[in-house]
Structure 1
């Protein structure tokens, strides 16, 4: 089915290029292109894109990865795996409006920071692979097995999904706070950068699992991405506070 869809998309793209009318090149169009290029030079927009890469891109990646993960790590049937994944998608999508309300009330950056901390704690447990340890006691050895069962795993995943739903709303609230007159331009660029996670992260998941050799390596990748997001946000907050102190002193 995939190759058929691919050929269909190529045919549609060719017909669009062949038949669609070409709009005249006007000064307004030139100004729009220049605005886009100027926006791409802003580090702040790339920073917002990194945040959205996690809250939206990793959400898309998990939609693709979770059925296979449930089937391989927990030996569930694909129908059961798809049911868990569907619940993850539904809960994460439904809470976005609630996340927007929280962002309006408490501020986009505050909600975003809370989202990152919640996801960091959940990913810490998800990264831990099934482990068996032997403790040499006084009289006998003690076997200790540490493993996250499917229900605890699903609970952590659903918490991450809900947090990502809040995060998708709070990122756009933050964009509105900084670029209220350019929501279409900046929001589109941030969405495009974030959506790249849907195609790059599953590849990174597969490479990590093949290289490290454990199922939870995919969550180690997400942990690394989230650590980058939190580091960048922390430095941005420090810079903003420093600039505010300088302006106040001036």
Structure 2
């Protein structure tokens, strides 16, 4: 129900009127089948997006890859996904999220089938496959607007968190890919992945529905208008740390546990799955917590905890110590992912499609940096320590940046919006 009166989407000349909605119960305020479809699509897309990570030890043995090549191989899908998120953000606003998601899913399934049938026989081939898997990572810019546009501002944190919990698909990859690779060979895993992807594609087409309040298409140049505002860059920077840390670790931990502690690929996959599950589980909790106490407070705690945990990991002497610290880091980063996307719709409600793409791109770039830097650090220093310490420093830098902008946010666009950040 829409009441009389208006809220405002931003400060200064960026202010524009928007109807104030009466608060309603979460499950009755949106479209549940679409929310479920967005989650399923996101979940399976993320499963294959990081698929090269759990398979990396076996692929490296077959193709005789160096540590730096392994790092670049698992980082390539994150970079491709980062770039394609912007493309998908534009596509969502032009043809709608449902059709955009359908196109992306078909590309990924076809690419995996081709790779399985033809085989991947070189390092260059793994990079080409990584680019195809980037389309799966770009699902972020489709699934989140598909869900978000159905829900009012007071439920954005929960809606985005539940849809975004699809990053739990990385758990499936870590749990099952190493075991299936041992049983059937790592190339067969590429074909086997198409089975659940195809099932989810059918469910998505049946359940998903484009939201009724989609913005009218704009000229191409207008989609990049948010980049003229400093707040867009702040959100991109914060997400580069929270999501970049999450996906970078998800792609790299199987390699880390096998190289650092000599674990089997299956056991390393189980350890990775435990860490990734922690980060995935708390994403909706992070959104809900940000709804309750404010995204700024939530993010402030996230950056401090993540920085301490990653700094501790750099010198962890045992598997159990490293595992505990990784779980702590992933809990913080997962909550941070939900908190960032509690804030973004409050500031850029009318541009949520392209902002999801831009912020998601930054997250992918952060993941590419972390995964590739860990491989480079191992190649040239013999240890992963520099990679972890630098990213810990980036988390502290993000904390300092948030401290600089939070007062302005609360006094300008958050105050005009009437929301708690």
Tell me which interval the TM-score lies in, with the shorter structure as reference length: 0.7 to 0.9
- Counterpart of 1:179 in structure 2 is 348
RMSD: 2.7
Residue 9 of structure 1 and its aligned partner are, at CA, apart by 7.3
Residue 65 of structure 1 and its aligned partner are, at CA, apart by 1.2
Find out whether 1:6 has 2:124 as its counterpart: no
How far apart, in 2, do the equivalents of 1:9 and 1:231 lie? 34
TM-score normalised by the chain length of structure 1: 0.74
Q: Kindly name which structure, 1 or 2, has the bigger radius of gyration based on alpha carbons.
A: 1
- Counterpart of 2:243 in structure 1 is 56
Residue 110 of structure 1 and its aligned partner are, at CA, apart by 0.8
Q: 1:78 to 1:51 in 2, by over 3 A?
A: same
- Counterpart of 1:124 in structure 2 is 311
How far apart, in 2, do the equivalents of 1:7 and 1:127 lie? 31
- Counterpart of 2:264 in structure 1 is 77
Q: 1:5 to 1:62 in 2, by over 3 A?
A: closer
How far apart, in 2, do the equivalents of 1:203 and 1:4 lie? 14
The DSSP-based 3-state class of the residue aligned with 1:49 is helix
Instruction: Tell whether the 8 Å contact from 1:205 to 1:221 is kept in structure 2 after alignment.
Output: no
TM-score normalised by the chain length of structure 2: 0.45
Residue 149 of structure 1 and its aligned partner are, at CA, apart by 1.5
Size of the aligned set, in residue pairs, is 209
Higher RCO (CA-CA < 8 Å; seq separation 6+): 1
Find out whether 1:168 has 2:337 as its counterpart: yes
Instruction: Tell whether the 8 Å contact from 1:57 to 1:197 is kept in structure 2 after alignment.
Output: yes
- Counterpart of 1:112 in structure 2 is 299
Residue segments in structure 1 that go unaligned for 5+ positions in a row: 14-27, 129-146, 245-250
Q: 1:8 to 1:186 in 2, by over 3 A?
A: closer
Residue 213 of structure 1 and its aligned partner are, at CA, apart by 3.4
Instruction: Tell whether the 8 Å contact from 1:51 to 1:229 is kept in structure 2 after alignment.
Output: yes
Residue segments in structure 2 that go unaligned for 5+ positions in a row: 1-118, 136-215, 414-421
Q: 1:100 aligns with which of 283, 287, 291?
A: 287
Find out whether 1:213 has 2:382 as its counterpart: yes
How far apart, in 2, do the equivalents of 1:167 and 1:111 lie? 7
Instruction: Tell whether the 8 Å contact from 1:204 to 1:221 is kept in structure 2 after alignment.
Output: no
